[in-house]
Amino acid sequence: MLELSLLQKIAIGIVPILLAVTVHEAAHGYVANALGDPTAKRAGRLTLNPIRHIDWLGTLVVPLLMYLFTQFVFGWAKPVPINPSRLREPRRGMFLVAAAGPGVNVLMAIGWALLTVVALKGLDGGMPFAEPLALMGQVGIFINLILAVFNLLPILPLDGGRMLASVLPPAWGERMSRLEPWGLPIVVVLLVSGVLSSILLPIMGTLIGWFNTLIHALL
Protein backbone atom coordinates (compact mmCIF):
# COMPACT_ATOMS: atom_id res chain seq x y z
CA MET A 1 0.00 0.00 0.00
CA LEU A 2 1.14 3.53 -0.78
CA GLU A 3 2.59 5.92 1.77
CA LEU A 4 -0.13 8.36 2.78
CA SER A 5 0.05 12.11 3.12
CA LEU A 6 -1.07 13.87 6.28
CA LEU A 7 -4.40 14.87 4.70
CA GLN A 8 -5.01 11.33 3.50
CA LYS A 9 -4.35 9.98 7.00
CA ILE A 10 -6.82 12.48 8.45
CA ALA A 11 -9.45 11.61 5.82
CA ILE A 12 -9.08 7.90 6.57
CA GLY A 13 -9.01 8.31 10.34
CA ILE A 14 -11.80 10.80 10.95
CA VAL A 15 -14.74 8.47 10.19
CA PRO A 16 -13.60 5.63 12.48
CA ILE A 17 -12.81 8.11 15.27
CA LEU A 18 -16.20 9.85 15.02
CA LEU A 19 -18.08 6.55 14.90
CA ALA A 20 -16.10 5.08 17.79
CA VAL A 21 -16.81 7.91 20.22
CA THR A 22 -20.35 8.62 19.00
CA VAL A 23 -21.61 5.05 19.26
CA HIS A 24 -19.74 4.59 22.55
CA GLU A 25 -21.54 7.53 24.16
CA ALA A 26 -24.91 6.73 22.58
CA ALA A 27 -24.67 3.16 23.91
CA HIS A 28 -24.46 4.47 27.47
CA GLY A 29 -27.63 6.49 26.91
CA TYR A 30 -29.57 3.70 25.21
CA VAL A 31 -28.81 1.19 27.97
CA ALA A 32 -29.61 3.74 30.69
CA ASN A 33 -32.93 4.52 29.01
CA ALA A 34 -33.76 0.82 28.69
CA LEU A 35 -33.03 0.36 32.41
CA GLY A 36 -35.29 3.19 33.53
CA ASP A 37 -33.25 6.41 33.32
CA PRO A 38 -34.52 8.76 30.57
CA THR A 39 -32.02 11.55 31.37
CA ALA A 40 -29.93 11.03 28.24
CA LYS A 41 -33.05 10.74 26.08
CA ARG A 42 -34.42 14.03 27.40
CA ALA A 43 -31.04 15.66 26.74
CA GLY A 44 -31.19 14.54 23.10
CA ARG A 45 -28.25 12.17 23.44
CA LEU A 46 -29.94 9.01 22.13
CA THR A 47 -28.67 9.77 18.65
CA LEU A 48 -25.87 8.76 16.32
CA ASN A 49 -25.45 12.37 15.23
CA PRO A 50 -21.79 12.99 16.18
CA ILE A 51 -22.38 16.70 16.72
CA ARG A 52 -24.44 15.86 19.82
CA HIS A 53 -21.58 13.87 21.34
CA ILE A 54 -18.24 15.27 20.21
CA ASP A 55 -15.99 17.62 22.04
CA TRP A 56 -14.09 19.30 19.19
CA LEU A 57 -10.77 19.33 21.01
CA GLY A 58 -11.03 16.00 22.81
CA THR A 59 -12.79 14.02 20.09
CA LEU A 60 -11.06 15.27 16.95
CA VAL A 61 -7.92 17.35 17.43
CA VAL A 62 -6.21 15.45 20.26
CA PRO A 63 -6.92 11.87 19.01
CA LEU A 64 -5.95 12.71 15.42
CA LEU A 65 -2.68 14.35 16.44
CA MET A 66 -1.82 11.45 18.74
CA TYR A 67 -2.77 8.92 16.06
CA LEU A 68 -0.56 10.68 13.53
CA PHE A 69 2.49 11.22 15.72
CA THR A 70 2.44 8.65 18.56
CA GLN A 71 1.62 5.01 19.25
CA PHE A 72 -1.13 5.92 21.70
CA VAL A 73 -4.54 7.54 21.24
CA PHE A 74 -6.14 9.61 23.97
CA GLY A 75 -9.31 11.67 23.74
CA TRP A 76 -12.74 12.28 25.15
CA ALA A 77 -16.33 13.12 24.21
CA LYS A 78 -19.12 14.90 26.04
CA PRO A 79 -20.23 12.50 28.80
CA VAL A 80 -23.80 11.25 28.45
CA PRO A 81 -25.84 12.42 31.48
CA ILE A 82 -26.89 9.50 33.67
CA ASN A 83 -28.94 9.63 36.87
CA PRO A 84 -28.24 6.36 38.76
CA SER A 85 -31.13 6.94 41.17
CA ARG A 86 -33.57 6.59 38.26
CA LEU A 87 -32.28 3.17 37.24
CA ARG A 88 -34.54 0.33 38.36
CA GLU A 89 -31.58 -1.44 39.98
CA PRO A 90 -28.99 1.34 40.47
CA ARG A 91 -25.89 -0.76 41.17
CA ARG A 92 -26.55 -3.43 38.55
CA GLY A 93 -27.83 -0.77 36.16
CA MET A 94 -24.72 1.41 36.48
CA PHE A 95 -22.51 -1.61 35.79
CA LEU A 96 -24.43 -2.37 32.58
CA VAL A 97 -24.55 1.29 31.51
CA ALA A 98 -20.80 1.62 32.00
CA ALA A 99 -20.05 -1.68 30.25
CA ALA A 100 -22.12 -0.68 27.22
CA GLY A 101 -19.49 1.76 25.95
CA PRO A 102 -16.46 -0.57 25.83
CA GLY A 103 -18.73 -3.43 24.76
CA VAL A 104 -19.97 -1.62 21.69
CA ASN A 105 -16.40 -0.59 20.83
CA VAL A 106 -15.40 -4.26 20.74
CA LEU A 107 -18.36 -5.02 18.47
CA MET A 108 -17.39 -2.16 16.17
CA ALA A 109 -13.80 -3.42 16.05
CA ILE A 110 -15.16 -6.76 14.83
CA GLY A 111 -17.25 -4.92 12.23
CA TRP A 112 -14.19 -3.00 10.99
CA ALA A 113 -12.27 -6.28 10.81
CA LEU A 114 -14.94 -7.74 8.55
CA LEU A 115 -14.82 -4.62 6.37
CA THR A 116 -11.05 -5.00 6.17
CA VAL A 117 -11.47 -8.57 4.95
CA VAL A 118 -13.90 -7.48 2.24
CA ALA A 119 -11.59 -4.63 1.17
CA LEU A 120 -8.48 -6.81 1.05
CA LYS A 121 -10.32 -9.37 -1.07
CA GLY A 122 -11.47 -6.53 -3.31
CA LEU A 123 -7.91 -5.33 -3.93
CA ASP A 124 -7.21 -8.26 -6.26
CA GLY A 125 -10.58 -7.88 -7.96
CA GLY A 126 -10.16 -4.18 -8.67
CA MET A 127 -12.90 -3.09 -6.26
CA PRO A 128 -13.18 0.73 -6.21
CA PHE A 129 -11.74 2.35 -3.07
CA ALA A 130 -10.59 -1.04 -1.75
CA GLU A 131 -7.27 0.29 -0.46
CA PRO A 132 -8.72 3.28 1.48
CA LEU A 133 -11.41 1.01 2.94
CA ALA A 134 -8.80 -1.50 4.07
CA LEU A 135 -6.80 1.27 5.73
CA MET A 136 -9.94 2.70 7.31
CA GLY A 137 -10.78 -0.74 8.63
CA GLN A 138 -7.37 -1.04 10.26
CA VAL A 139 -7.79 2.38 11.90
CA GLY A 140 -11.30 1.41 13.02
CA ILE A 141 -9.98 -1.73 14.68
CA PHE A 142 -7.23 0.16 16.48
CA ILE A 143 -9.36 3.12 17.60
CA ASN A 144 -12.17 0.96 18.96
CA LEU A 145 -9.85 -1.43 20.76
CA ILE A 146 -7.86 1.37 22.39
CA LEU A 147 -11.09 3.08 23.48
CA ALA A 148 -12.40 -0.16 24.95
CA VAL A 149 -9.17 -1.01 26.78
CA PHE A 150 -8.56 2.55 27.99
CA ASN A 151 -12.10 2.96 29.28
CA LEU A 152 -11.89 -0.33 31.17
CA LEU A 153 -9.14 1.03 33.41
CA PRO A 154 -10.47 0.86 37.01
CA ILE A 155 -10.25 4.62 37.52
CA LEU A 156 -13.25 6.92 37.91
CA PRO A 157 -14.75 8.54 35.88
CA LEU A 158 -13.76 5.93 33.27
CA ASP A 159 -16.19 3.10 32.57
CA GLY A 160 -13.98 0.56 34.29
CA GLY A 161 -14.04 2.66 37.45
CA ARG A 162 -17.83 2.83 37.39
CA MET A 163 -18.07 -0.91 36.84
CA LEU A 164 -15.72 -1.57 39.75
CA ALA A 165 -17.57 0.83 42.05
CA SER A 166 -20.81 -0.98 41.17
CA VAL A 167 -19.57 -4.42 42.19
CA LEU A 168 -17.67 -3.41 45.33
CA PRO A 169 -19.48 -3.52 48.68
CA PRO A 170 -21.56 -0.31 48.94
CA ALA A 171 -19.30 1.30 51.56
CA TRP A 172 -16.18 0.65 49.47
CA GLY A 173 -17.93 1.85 46.31
CA GLU A 174 -18.86 5.08 48.10
CA ARG A 175 -15.26 5.63 49.18
CA MET A 176 -14.06 5.01 45.65
CA SER A 177 -16.60 7.50 44.27
CA ARG A 178 -15.08 10.23 46.43
CA LEU A 179 -11.84 9.86 44.46
CA GLU A 180 -13.55 10.68 41.13
CA PRO A 181 -12.40 14.36 41.01
CA TRP A 182 -8.82 13.05 41.01
CA GLY A 183 -9.41 10.53 38.24
CA LEU A 184 -8.55 12.56 35.16
CA PRO A 185 -5.47 14.18 36.75
CA ILE A 186 -4.29 10.67 37.62
CA VAL A 187 -4.83 9.54 34.02
CA VAL A 188 -2.89 12.55 32.69
CA VAL A 189 0.01 11.84 35.06
CA LEU A 190 0.04 8.18 34.00
CA LEU A 191 -0.01 9.24 30.34
CA VAL A 192 2.77 11.83 30.60
CA SER A 193 4.96 9.55 32.72
CA GLY A 194 4.68 6.71 30.21
CA VAL A 195 3.13 4.35 32.75
CA LEU A 196 -0.16 4.26 30.84
CA SER A 197 1.55 3.29 27.60
CA SER A 198 3.53 0.55 29.34
CA ILE A 199 0.24 -0.90 30.61
CA LEU A 200 -1.89 -0.52 27.51
CA LEU A 201 0.51 -1.19 24.64
CA PRO A 202 1.17 -4.86 25.53
CA ILE A 203 -2.58 -5.44 25.84
CA MET A 204 -3.16 -3.69 22.53
CA GLY A 205 -0.40 -5.72 20.89
CA THR A 206 -2.09 -8.94 21.95
CA LEU A 207 -5.55 -7.80 20.81
CA ILE A 208 -4.29 -6.50 17.46
CA GLY A 209 -2.53 -9.83 16.98
CA TRP A 210 -5.80 -11.68 17.59
CA PHE A 211 -7.64 -9.47 15.12
CA ASN A 212 -4.92 -9.90 12.48
CA THR A 213 -5.20 -13.66 12.94
CA LEU A 214 -8.98 -13.40 12.46
CA ILE A 215 -8.56 -11.32 9.30
CA HIS A 216 -6.02 -13.71 7.78
CA ALA A 217 -8.25 -16.67 8.67
CA LEU A 218 -11.14 -15.09 6.74
CA LEU A 219 -9.16 -14.13 3.65
Question: What are the residue numbers of the active site?
Answer: 25
Q: φ, ψ for residue 77 (rounded to 5)?
A: -125, 175
Q: What span, in angstroms and rounded, lies between the C-alpha atoms of 18 and 74?
A: 13
Alpha helices in 125-158 (DSSP H): 130-151
CB 97 within 8 A of CB 31: yes
CB 39 within 8 A of CB 81: yes
Q: Is the dihedral of CA 195, 185, 31, 57 positive or negative?
A: negative
